[in-house]
Chains A and B, each alone.
Chain A
């Protein structure tokens, strides 16, 4: 299932993206590292504000001031993207690295027809005539399961349903056969049946084309069946990383345990829903030590220290002084 390639498609190392606001520095992404290989699906999981979307935008260089990638390295097929010129990034975006956004109601331009929005993405990167571009757009729509693509091409976004629009966005992402797709919560705004269809389409296309996929989500259940590898983010850091099955079945970090425990299906009828006590800390004034300390029941004096560099435990890494060996009842 993994295509044979030399080295990972994307290798992020010690990435730090900070927002310099008037109130202070927001460390949205702080020391994040991971690799994604071709044909592999990497799930980036975390709550709102954990820095998972900012990680995605950092990779394609779409962090707007006051945000900035302050240090670290993003290597895409061996090429360093941190500090790369805007022209170079523009050539890569939509071409080698594509993105899918969260809300399909907002991502397509309301005043441009679908064909315009699709063919411009082709013509921005390849020197093809209008007819070829149009045919490619039509075929791409067919591939993501849109019926009568020729007619759909002539419509405006408001004439399509949310699920249709997200399919169009996915088709756009695949237009130039990218090596990497970053999907930022692409199914959050859709209802459950459409959600599973979309996940299926994306998965099939990636497997077929050998595209690496980063699937950003807050929903562990979504990622469980989709990803090969999972990174759990909390307060700008990756707190746990490993094979998807391992993480779902045997989470080590107290936060991951809490996340899995709070999925409603794990509870019996009538029982109070489990929740992680407390709130996500403000990234503006992060207290020293482990960011999860205040919400963690295993907190002790040791946690007041900066949590050490991710150390491998049982073949995967976790950023915690007290990795748990708790079996999750499923």
Chain B
């Protein structure tokens, strides 16, 4: 197990390194930040001074090595716009994005699994057909459009929920989040649901497919033949088997929730990392873009590892390290 984790961590370092090269060089191809930053009326001398100050006069390879050297010490560069360390800018906005992504994830789990289970156990009932039709809509409607419609219906027409911002936050156990105030919960409901919609649909489909398959397995019939209650047959014998793929997907999808919250945050003006990224791209704030992308890569790599470990806990046939010599 330990050897496995160490090997995976080393693989992760390689992945992050390769990603940093792609991101760093890629960002350098798009636009010239100096044009965005400097007063158009500045003379050539000022422009060159600015270029030197930003370190953009050096060859790109040298810039990358400089970046790498700093990155090892945790310094991912300073924002061109704010003049603050990029990492710090992102970390400041991270709680807002994380609370949004976690709420969306919980919605996907607590709505998706029961609905999928129901649809799998009673495939022919009208309720199941409605659930499945709903999940097709959840899959196919574009997130931004659904977000706009939600704002129009619930914020503009009905006036039930606020349309933008994070609302009031409160600090509980050292964590500042809008999840701890009623006003904050009202604010987070719509964007979280919007972000979760696709994932809820995905979890419903996965759970339903797993249930349909498992319900006809002999071990379910055998469990019933043992005289177990339907509750135990479904909640233990069935659910533990179908949770294996569901956990894998949910774990990996959490990364994409964080990464793709960009769209939702933009629509609902949610002050998270995604909105910061969009703003930074528009202003060609290279250090922030690079730092953001590297953090997302790290997030995915970490989640993958956690999913693998969780998987082995759920499925005794995949005990890690057992078969690896």
Task: Check B229 for interface membership: any CB of A closer than 8 A.
Answer: yes
Contact yes or no, B315 A94, CB < 8 A: no
Task: Check A70 for interface membership: any CB of B closer than 8 A.
Answer: no
Contact yes or no, B317 A109, CB < 8 A: no
Contact yes or no, A109 B223, CB < 8 A: yes
Cβ distance B130 to chain A, nearest Cβ, rounded Å: 21
Contact yes or no, A93 B225, CB < 8 A: yes
Task: Check B158 for interface membership: any CB of A closer than 8 A.
Answer: no
Measured CB to CB, the nearest residue on chain A to B214 is A109
Contact with B along A76-120 (1 / 0, CB 8 A): 000000000000001111110011011100111111110000001
Contact yes or no, A62 B240, CB < 8 A: no
Contact yes or no, A99 B223, CB < 8 A: no
Measured CB to CB, the nearest residue on chain A to B317 is A158
Specify which chain B residues have a CB less than 8 angstroms from the CB of A25 in the assembled complex.
none
One of A93, A108, A109, A113 near B227 (C-beta < 8 A): A93
Q: Given A93-B226, A95-B227, A121-B228 in contact, is the A158-B219 Cβ separation under 8 Å? A: no
One of A92, A101, A111, A125 near B222 (C-beta < 8 A): A101
Which residues in B have some Cβ–Cβ distance to A below 8 Å?
217-219, 221-229, 232, 236-237, 240-241, 244, 314-317
Q: Given A120-B232, A156-B316, A158-B317 in contact, is the A109-B219 Cβ separation under 8 Å? A: yes
Contact yes or no, B228 A109, CB < 8 A: no
Cβ distance A158 to chain B, nearest Cβ, rounded Å: 5
CA distance A111 to B232 in the complex (A): 14
One of B218, B229, B241, B315 near A107 (C-beta < 8 A): B218
Cβ distance A102 to chain B, nearest Cβ, rounded Å: 8
Specify which chain A residues have a CB less than 8 angstroms from the CB of B229 in the assembled complex.
90, 124
Measured CB to CB, the nearest residue on chain B to A106 is B218
How many residue-residue contacts, CB under 8 A, span A and B?
76
Measured CB to CB, the nearest residue on chain A to B222 is A107
Contact yes or no, B316 A108, CB < 8 A: no
Contact yes or no, B221 A62, CB < 8 A: yes
Q: Given A109-B237, A112-B240 in contact, is the A156-B228 Cβ separation under 8 Å? A: no
Other A-B pairs beyond A112-B237, A120-B232, A124-B227, 6, CB < 8 Å? A90-B229, A98-B225, A109-B219, A109-B240, A120-B226, A158-B317
Contact yes or no, B241 A94, CB < 8 A: no
Contact yes or no, A62 B224, CB < 8 A: yes
Instruction: Say whether chain B's binding surface is mostly helix, strand, loop, or mixed.
Output: helix
CA distance A92 to B240 in the complex (A): 26
Contact yes or no, A101 B237, CB < 8 A: no
Contact yes or no, A124 B221, CB < 8 A: no
Measured CB to CB, the nearest residue on chain A to B315 is A111
Contact yes or no, A124 B228, CB < 8 A: yes
Task: Check A206 for interface membership: any CB of B closer than 8 A.
Answer: no
Task: Check A141 for interface membership: any CB of B closer than 8 A.
Answer: no
Task: Check A60 for interface membership: any CB of B closer than 8 A.
Answer: yes
Contact yes or no, B317 A110, CB < 8 A: yes
Specify which chain A residues have a CB less than 8 angstroms from the CB of B224 in the assembled complex.
62, 93
Contact yes or no, B240 A111, CB < 8 A: yes
Specify which chain A residues have a CB less than 8 angstroms from the CB of B219 in the assembled complex.
106-110
Specify which chain A residues have a CB less than 8 angstroms from the CB of B241 in the assembled complex.
109-111
Q: Which 7 A-B pairs have the closest CB atoms?
A: A94-B227, A94-B226, A93-B227, A106-B218, A156-B316, A99-B225, A107-B222
9 A-B pairs whose Cβ atoms sit less than 8 Å apart in the complex: A62-B221, A93-B224, A94-B226, A101-B218, A107-B219, A109-B219, A110-B316, A120-B226, A121-B228
Cβ distance A88 to chain B, nearest Cβ, rounded Å: 11
Cβ distance A142 to chain B, nearest Cβ, rounded Å: 20
Measured CB to CB, the nearest residue on chain A to B221 is A62
CA distance A90 to B232 in the complex (A): 12
Contact yes or no, B227 A121, CB < 8 A: yes
Measured CB to CB, the nearest residue on chain A to B223 is A109
Cβ distance A91 to chain B, nearest Cβ, rounded Å: 7
Measured CB to CB, the nearest residue on chain A to B240 is A111
**Listed residue (B217, B219, B222) with the most chain A CB atoms within 10 angstroms of its CB:** B222
One of B217, B225, B227, B236 near A91 (C-beta < 8 A): B227
Task: Check A169 for interface membership: any CB of B closer than 8 A.
Answer: yes
Cβ distance B235 to chain A, nearest Cβ, rounded Å: 12
Measured CB to CB, the nearest residue on chain A to B236 is A112
CA distance A60 to B222 in the complex (A): 11
Task: Check A320 for interface membership: any CB of B closer than 8 A.
Answer: no
Cβ distance B266 to chain A, nearest Cβ, rounded Å: 42
Measured CB to CB, the nearest residue on chain B to A175 is B226
CA distance A303 to B275 in the complex (A): 83
Cβ distance A177 to chain B, nearest Cβ, rounded Å: 13
Near B by CB (< 8 A), chain A positions 109-162 give 109-113, 120-121, 124-125, 156, 158
